[in-house]
């Protein structure tokens, strides 16, 4: 038996919005540690690695590890039937061919449940080694969304150049070119508004803006995003999943393969 109850159900709705445009289907691997999902997009350019920690749920029961194969568009549609302030419970029997979602209103005067068929998925996992990245850039998630959106006007790719002076995002195309430079924040009252660069080595890499724009769908989960880069390895973009109190409930990480010279 698997059962997980999340009082701040809107977090699960936001998690689904952050992955449904990138992935068609994926397995939720449920264990005593929590619910994990790792899947690549169909072209194998980007990967999502997502964790919802068991102690982030108000109730969490997982008698034995199970893998729930899910059509993510279907799950997203069902979660749209939950109100933003609903409590969401996910339930699946061992060896079941369906998963149940229960939505309770805060006053418990409206309870709905939806059963969804599970899929048999042949999932392919990638081993991602723990990496010491040459640069880790932390910035407001809204700022990163804006940069990716604005530079998409100019081209398909962004060059991210991280040096000790700050970070420069550049794009060029038929109509011209654009650059956005962010300096490290000197004094910031609010931590979530800071730009912080932790750099061991300067790095310049090129990435597809189309995929970065998919990743920014996770911005509602977190006020900050971190970009971790090293030469000639995929970019890692991480949004921490925090509840209203700011406690960590897990993360959404995206990996994106760089573009290289032909």
Footprint of another protein (CB under 8 A): 40, 43-47, 124-129, 157, 206, 208, 233-234, 255, 257-262
72 with 19: CB under 8 angstroms? Answer: yes
Cα 176 from Cα 242, distance rounded (Å): 39
Output the smallest distance, CB 33 to another protein, in A.
Answer: 18
Question: Nearer to another protein by C-beta: 83 or 152?
Answer: 152
Nearest CA among 53, 82, 60, 50 for reference residue 5: 60
6 with 58: CB under 8 angstroms? Answer: yes
Question: Nearer to another protein by C-beta: 90 or 256?
Answer: 256
Output the smallest distance, CB 127 to another protein, in A.
Answer: 5
Output the smallest distance, CB 15 to another protein, in A.
Answer: 21
Question: Nearer to another protein by C-beta: 105 or 152?
Answer: 152
Cα 168 from Cα 147, distance rounded (Å): 10
Output the smallest distance, CB 261 to another protein, in A.
Answer: 7
CA Rg, the chain, in Å? 19
Question: Nearer to another protein by C-beta: 43 or 108?
Answer: 43
Cα 242 from Cα 249, distance rounded (Å): 6
């Amino acid at each position: 038996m698997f059962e997980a109850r999340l009082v701040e159900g809107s977090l699960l709705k936001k998690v689904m919005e952050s992955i449904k445009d990138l992935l068609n289907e994926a397995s939720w691997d449920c264990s005593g540690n929590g619910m994990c999902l790792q899947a690549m997009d169909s072209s194998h350019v980007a990967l999502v690695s997502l964790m919802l920690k068991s102690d982030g749920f108000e109730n969490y029961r997982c008698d034995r590890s199970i893998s729930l194969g899910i059509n993510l568009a279907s799950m997203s549609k069902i979660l749209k039937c939950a109100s933003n302030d609903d409590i969401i419970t996910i339930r699946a029997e061992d060896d079941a061919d369906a998963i149940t979602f229960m939505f309770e209103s805060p006053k418990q005067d409206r309870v709905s449940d939806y059963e969804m068929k599970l899929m048999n998925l042949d999932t392919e996992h990638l081993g991602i080694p723990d990496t010491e990245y040459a640069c880790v850039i932390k910035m407001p998630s809204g700022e990163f969304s804006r940069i990716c959106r604005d530079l998409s006007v100019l081209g398909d790719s962004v060059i991210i150049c991280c040096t000790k002076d700050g970070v420069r995002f550049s794009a060029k195309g038929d109509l011209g070119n654009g650059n956005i430079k962010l300096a490290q924040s000197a004094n910031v009252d609010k931590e979530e508004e800071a730009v912080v660069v932790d750099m061991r080595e300067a790095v310049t890499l090129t990435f597809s803006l189309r995929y970065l724009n998919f990743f920014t769908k996770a911005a509602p989960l977190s006020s900050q995003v971190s970009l971790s880069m090293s030469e000639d390895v995929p970019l890692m973009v991480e949004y921490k999943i925090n509840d209203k109190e700011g406690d960590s409930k897990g993360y959404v990480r995206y990996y994106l393969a760089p573009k290289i010279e032909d």
